Amino acid sequence: MFPRDHLKNWYKGQGLWSDTPDYEWNTWQWQMRNRFNKKEDFDGYLKLTPDEEEGCGFADQKLLMSITPYFFNLIDRDDPDCPIRKQVIPRKSEKIVSPEELLDPVGEENNMVVEGLVHRYPDRVLFLATPYCASYCRYCTRSRLVSNAQDYNLHSEYDARIKYISEHPEIRDVLLSGGDPLVLSNRKIAELISRLRAIPHIEFIRIGTRVPVFMPQRINTELCEILKEHGPIFMSIHTNHPKECTIELKEACAKLLSSCVVMGNQSVLMKGVNDNADTLMSLSHRLLQMGVKPYYLYQCDLITGSAHFRTDVQKGIELIRQLRGFTTGYAVPQYVIDAPGGGGKIPINPDYVKEITGTEIILLNYQGNEYRYPLHGGV
Ligand code: SF4
């Protein structure tokens, strides 16, 4: 029996900063200014483990550390294995590089047609709008460029990217990502989206963002008006654990939904964070209660120094098997592997087809019971 979630049990992020006036706490600029960016920032707030101390020591050469006070408050400070803590505090395991790991695990550089624009699929592009995020995830697929710690120096100058899109009428879908586009100013976001909307063949604009999760204060009235004006905008947020589904995130999602933003969620399957069915089920249920469809569950990419996060693929398949049929179909994300080298996202599913004979397909339902269906359609 899976646990039921009730709104009264939702998390609320303030706690440590209870003396900070609401007018400061509730602004994204205050959250950005007061981020934990270096080891010493934890003094008086959190005792780092030796493993974390060592991890913090080299983060500035790999992927910067940055944690908003809001997100920091979701950490259980008495638990070194807290699933929130693991996502954002570097550990020494990041130094260990396995032979199969890559700086660019999904081959984006091979498909980079101009700086910051990846054209891999025929009708859509990935537009890297900025290298910066509100906080940095230790398993980030784009660690090579995000935060500019590795001197990638991705610039927020869009003319060449917009020109390429304008000259390619086969592109109908633009995914704005990065880094995180929602750390840009409202002026810059409005300008970028309106330039894209002015291109006649662009039908579909998506934003991939973790800002509502790291800093729901960013979802303010002005931003919502911009998104509404250019809607519908499709937005994928990124939560990995039910603790991230706070009252504040729920309110931010409500504002986005009422601004004609269509909401989905992407998660990364990670050891010790969300690699059990209860956690994934609870996360999905909370997302649905916020009006957010669990969209993708990613097998953790082969990013350099991420072996400590990766689960067996068989485990991921088994977890999906434990969700499918046992809860609402909307609550089951598509488990995918983003193929190393640039093959794109490949869906991975439990096998419900037992056999295909000359006349029928033999199926197994979610309980393992066998059913038959004629192979050929009617006359
Ligand atoms: S928010 Fe996204 S882009 Fe930024 S560090 Fe996390 S996974 Fe990477």
* Best of 71, 118, 133, 141 for a ligand 1 pocket test (most atoms within 8 Å of beta carbon): 133
Give pLDDT, residue 1. Answer: 43
Q: Which of 82, 137, 224, 253 is catalytic?
A: 137
Type of residue found at 77: R
Architecture in CATH of 109-347: Alpha-Beta Barrel (3.20)
The Cα 125–Cα 328 span in angstroms is 32
Give pLDDT, residue 377. Answer: 83
CA of 206 to the centre of ligand 1 (A): 16
The answer to whether 260 is a known catalytic residue is no
- What does the pLDDT look like over 269-309, one tens digit per residue? 999 999 999 999 999 999 999 999 999 999 999 999 999 99
Is residue 262 classed exposed, middle or buried when 0-12, 13-18 and 19+ CB atoms within 10 A define those classes? middle
Q: Is the CB–ligand 1 distance for residue 133 below 6 Å?
A: yes
Nearest CA to ligand 1 atom 6: 137
User: Order of strands across the sheet with 360-364?
Assistant: 353-356, 360-364, 370-374
CB atoms < 10 A from the CB of 107, how many?
Answer: 18
Question: pLDDT band at 3, cuts 50/70/90?
Answer: very low
The answer to whether 345 is a known catalytic residue is yes
Q: Is the CB–ligand 1 distance for residue 144 below 6 Å?
A: no
CA of 131 to the centre of ligand 1 (A): 9
At residue 240, does pLDDT exceed 80? yes
CA of 179 to the centre of ligand 1 (A): 6
Q: Is the CB–ligand 1 distance for residue 180 below 6 Å?
A: yes
The answer to whether 60 is a known catalytic residue is no
H-run or E-run covering 229: helix 221-229
- What does the pLDDT look like over 63-76, one tens digit per residue? 999 999 999 999 99
Q: Is the CB–ligand 1 distance for residue 137 below 6 Å?
A: yes
The answer to whether 137 is a known catalytic residue is yes
pTM for the complete prediction?
Answer: 0.95
- Strands (E) across the chain are located at 112-114, 117-118, 124-130, 173-178, 204-208, 233-238, 261-269, 293-299, 334-339, 344-347, 353-356, 360-364, 370-374
Q: Is the CB–ligand 1 distance for residue 134 below 6 Å?
A: no
- What does the pLDDT look like over 329-375, one tens digit per residue? 999 999 999 999 899 999 999 999 999 999 999 999 999 999 999 99
CA of 360 to the centre of ligand 1 (A): 46
Give pLDDT, residue 2. Answer: 43
Residue that is written with structure tokens 């910066």 in the block: 132
- What does the pLDDT look like over 41-65, one tens digit per residue? 999 999 999 999 999 998 989 999 9
At residue 165, does pLDDT exceed 70? yes
The Cα 283–Cα 243 span in angstroms is 8
CA of 178 to the centre of ligand 1 (A): 8
Query: Where do the domains of the chain lie?
Result: 7-94, 109-347, 351-379
At residue 262, does pLDDT exceed 90? yes
